[in-house]
């Protein structure tokens, strides 16, 4: 059996790859973190983390334990396991697999017998077999499942979650054959508490899409009901709280300004892409996307309604967003509904500012949005929009604020607050 210098190479050091590299190092594996972004590698080598859930101290500790960061693709030949965790964005509403393809080419150019290649990037069913495998085999001349092992394992990172982390969240694994599955399962068992094998890579790729499509659909359901309840003068928050007392057959989802992050807004579109390829669009899922995508504009219509009711003109009014991140207690604004809300308000010539303790700067379509200092000037606005229910906002005494307040999250109770 060949001896490798590193137990693992992680290709792509974003919010998925960096935690994997850190956890594997903590499990006493010899790890190399690989990325084509030289500035990112430079910062990591001086223990500067760009991932919220990973502190600078954790990076420093891992480096001291042997974690090596590099842009040198030739080092990939010296790694037993190679995990691809690069971005898979949508470009013009089409899956952009260029990062996966480039990472696969980097591996293929250095691929050795007995190596184990694992794709973790979120994608549509069939990517491992139809995209990654042909690249690896055609460039290297080696055969997948025989000369080297190949499989897929979906990432399950939940930024900001203090209960479920990389190590204690069950890990789905698959391979293109039984030997690959066994090898990949053995690897993840060395760093993760529970590993669950599925029969093939298509099944594993579909697992990730199902998990986030499930959330997309249920959020869309409660968002649509929130709009209906407003029309019927029903308190949707009381309805949801009462329904969740049922100990079976119901899981609570709460309405809000839309969905954000890289998973829920994006993953179902990968499913739509694949099903349209085979001539069978997932109409239910696409309707859910449509509903959630419309929520920022519903929020702006409610703002307009509240302002009109109080004889305040939207044009030249001042509105403050409390929170612009896509979820509580993190600073990630990717696909955040706040971006669409702000953009829509700007078209109505509203003066928009924000306060978010986790987001230092914000640019929307070329417009730098002013960041307010703490809670000092809340009285200076015509309306305060609560977009993200950060824990720090619990310190605000909303009862003492005379400004109009519109809470899209249902997280704060005050006689002064109007809810979605």
146 close to 137: Cβ distance less than 8 angstroms: no
**Closest among 155, 157, 159, 158 to 52, alpha carbons compared:** 159
First to last CA, the chain: 62
Q: Measured between alpha carbons, how far is 280 from 153 in angstroms, rounded to an integer? A: 26
DSSP assignments along 53-102, one per residue: TS-HHHHHHHHHTT-EEE--GGGGGGEEEEEE-----EETTEE--HHHHH
Angstrom CA distances, 402 to 344, 345, 384, 398, stand at 25, 22, 10, 8
Contact 310, 404 (CB under 8 A): yes
Is 229 catalytic? The answer is no
How far apart CA 342 and CA 320 sit, in angstroms, is 10
Compute CA distances 355 → 308, 401, 413, 414, whole Å: 24, 16, 20, 20
Six-digit token pair at 84?
Answer: 């691809």
Rounded Cα–Cα distance for residues 341 and 316 (Å) = 16
Residues 6+ apart with CB under 8 A from 68: 6, 31, 32, 33
Q: Rounded to whole angstroms, how far apart are CA atoms 110 and 73?
A: 8
Compute and round to an integer the Cα radius of gyration of the chain. Answer: 24
Residue 347 Cα distances to 93, 303, 314, 340, 367, angstroms: 24, 14, 11, 11, 12
* Per-residue DSSP letter, 369: P
State the catalytic residue, choosing from 54, 117, 263, 385. 263
Sequence-ordered list of residues with C-beta below 8 angstroms from that of 19, at least 6 positions apart, any chain: 51, 53, 54, 157, 166
DSSP characters over 7-52: EEEEE--STTHHHHHHHHHHTT--EEEE-S-HHHHHHHHTT---ST
Active site residues: 263
């Amino acid at each position: 059996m060949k001896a490798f210098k590193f137990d693992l190479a992680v290709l792509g050091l974003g919010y998925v790859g960096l935690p994997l590299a850190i956890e594997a190092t903590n499990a006493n594996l010899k790890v190399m973190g690989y990325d084509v972004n030289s500035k990112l590698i430079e910062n990591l080598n001086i223990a500067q983390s760009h991932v919220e859930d990973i502190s600078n101290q954790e990076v420093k500790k891992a480096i001291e334990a042997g974690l090596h960061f590099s842009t040198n693709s030739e080092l990939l030949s010296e790694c037993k396991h190679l995990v691809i965790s690069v971005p898979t964005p949508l470009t013009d509403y089409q899956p952009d697999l260029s990062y996966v393809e480039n990472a696969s080419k980097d591996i293929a150019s250095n691929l050795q017998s007995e190596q184990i290649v694992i794709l973790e990037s979120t994608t549509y069913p069939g990517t491992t077999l139809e995209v990654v495998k042909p690249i690896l085999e055609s460039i290297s001349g080696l055969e997948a499942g025989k000369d080297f092992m190949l499989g897929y394992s979906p990432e399950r990172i939940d930024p900001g979650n203090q209960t479920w982390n990389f190590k204690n969240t069950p890990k789905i694994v698959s391979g293109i054959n039984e030997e690959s599955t066994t090898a990949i399962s053995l690897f993840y068992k060395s760093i993760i508490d529970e590993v669950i094998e599925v029969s093939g890579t298509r099944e594993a790729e579909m697992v990730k899409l199902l998990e986030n499509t499930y959330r997309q659909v249920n959020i869309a359901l409660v968002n649509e009901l929130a709009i209906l309840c407003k029309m019927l003068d029903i308190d949707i928050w009381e309805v949801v709280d009462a329904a969740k007392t049922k100990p079976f057959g119901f899981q609570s989802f709460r309405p809000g300004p839309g969905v954000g992050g890289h998973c829920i807004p994006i993953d179902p579109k990968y499913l739509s892409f694949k099903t349209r390829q085979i001539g069978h669009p997932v109409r239910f899922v696409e309707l859910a996307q449509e509903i959630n995508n419309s929520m920022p504009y519903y929020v702006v219509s409610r703002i307009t309604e509240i302002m009109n009711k109080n004889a305040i003109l939207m044009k030249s009014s001042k509105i403050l967003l409390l929170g612009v991140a896509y979820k509580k207690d993190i600073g990630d604004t990717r696909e955040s509904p706040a971006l669409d809300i702000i953009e829509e308000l700007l078209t109505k010539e509203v003066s928009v500012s924000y306060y978010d303790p986790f987001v230092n700067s914000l640019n929307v379509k070329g417009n730098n949005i002013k960041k307010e200092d703490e809670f000092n000037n809340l009285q200076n606005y015509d309306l305060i929009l609560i977009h993200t229910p950060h824990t720090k906002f619990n310190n605000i005494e909303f009862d003492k604020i005379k400004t109009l307040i519109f809470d899209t999250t249902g997280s704060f109770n005050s006689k002064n607050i109007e809810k979605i």
